[in-house]
Structure 1
Amino acid sequence: MRLKNNQSKNRYKINYEIIAKVVRLVGKNIKPKIYPLEQALKKAKDLKLDLVEINPKVTPIVCKAMNYSKFLYNLKKTKKKDKKNILFTKEIRLTSQTSIHDLSFKIDKAKKILKSNKKVKFSIFFKGRSIIYKYLGKKMLLKCIKILSKITKVEIPPRMEEKKMFIVLLPHLKNTNEKL
């Protein structure tokens, strides 16, 4: 299997790229044992698998018989999953007439979300004629920003998209361990 030049960085050595004379072979349906490189390559080829150098820092190096393209696919998939989990957005819906008590309850909920290192999106959907009172919705969102200003920073200020006004708040990284 050949990779393009830009893909060759930070990858594992496979099959004939391995230069060690002796390797410790592990894998599914293989008894972990030290083999000469040629014999390890032959075993992997018999199983229709690739020989992949897993740990080159030990003596003898550790190689695993596996499907290399499937391994890369799973590795890429887990990296994408990790990136998604870093700052996930949770939405909290409000109205332009949300009462003070309801707002404080939703602010407490937002604090818990921010404490778990996630973004919070406050949104107001204007129904029917309530679109006339956009200023009330903006006032409500600015109140949320003011209340949470000590523990958050604004990623997206009040923005209107069709009949929806929203803000997105990020947690301050230094405050994630402190009590909110």
Structure 2
Amino acid sequence: MINEEIRDKEIRLIDVDGSQLGIMSAKEAQKIANSKNLDLVKIAPQATPPVCRIMDYGKYKFELAKKEKEARKNQHVVNIKEVRISPSIDEHDFNTKINHALKFLKAGDKVKVTVRFRGREVNHSSLGESLLQRFADSVSELGVVEKKPKLEGKNMAMFLAPKQ
């Protein structure tokens, strides 16, 4: 709440430099803020009496937006990329999938490696598990196993995270 929106009978007023001006009516505080060509902003409405501060509200909002933008710029969103393979994958195709996973791990993304079983292949889930273990060993210089291989329906999945 700013300026005329503040309707409390008594407020505690803080000046621009941070010094306390004491407890007074909202109208008096508004007059002081107007005389300095600044805004009266309620910063602690839950306090008794509520705390208001004299400040340039536009400048304050600009600084907040600037800090928020800076914080957003510095954060990195970790995506999960998926690499799908089958238990009967050929060696060259397997190496291509490893190269894709290495590229994702270098970019800082997590990789979900999924082995898809079709038909009766699911009976030989140990083949898929050994294939995923071989995959994890191949990318071990850039990634670590975050979740071990787990069979879910007709898919076996394993998660890899980039090394720190």
TM-score, with structure 2 as normaliser: 0.61
Q: Return the alpha-carbon distance in structure 2 between the equivalents of residues 126 and 160 of structure 1.
A: 10
CA distance 1:65–1:162, change in 2 (3 Å)? same
Q: Provide, for residues 14-59 of structure 1, a one-character-per-residue CA deviation record: whole Å limited to 9, x for no partner.
A: x87872247xxxxxxxxxxxxx9612326xxxxxxx688xxxxxxx
Match among 125, 129, 133 for residue 120 of structure 2: 129
What does 1:47-66 correspond to in 2, within 5 Å?
63-65=56-58
Give the letter for the 2:118 counterpart.
K
Q: Return the alpha-carbon distance in structure 1 between the equivalents of residues 152 and 12 of structure 2.
A: 54
Give the letter for the 2:14 counterpart.
I
| Unmatched runs of 5 consecutive residues or more in structure 1 | 2-14, 23-35, 43-49, 53-60, 174-180
Q: Provide, for residues 116-159 of structure 1, a one-character-per-residue CA deviation record: whole Å limited to 9, x for no partner.
A: 11101100121221111211111110110111112211100111
CA-CA distance at 1:64 after TM superposition: 3.0
Q: Return the alpha-carbon distance in structure 1 between the equivalents of residues 13 and 107 of structure 2.
A: 43
Q: Percent identity?
A: 26
Q: CA RMSD in A?
A: 3.6
CA distance 1:170–1:18, change in 2 (3 Å)? farther
Q: Kindly name which structure, 1 or 2, has the bigger radius of gyration based on alpha carbons.
A: 2
TM-score, with structure 1 as normaliser: 0.56
What does 1:1-180 correspond to in 2, within 5 Å?
19-21=14-16, 38-39=33-34, 40-41=38-39, 63-65=56-58, 82=75, 85=77, 87-173=78-164
Aligned residue pairs total 123
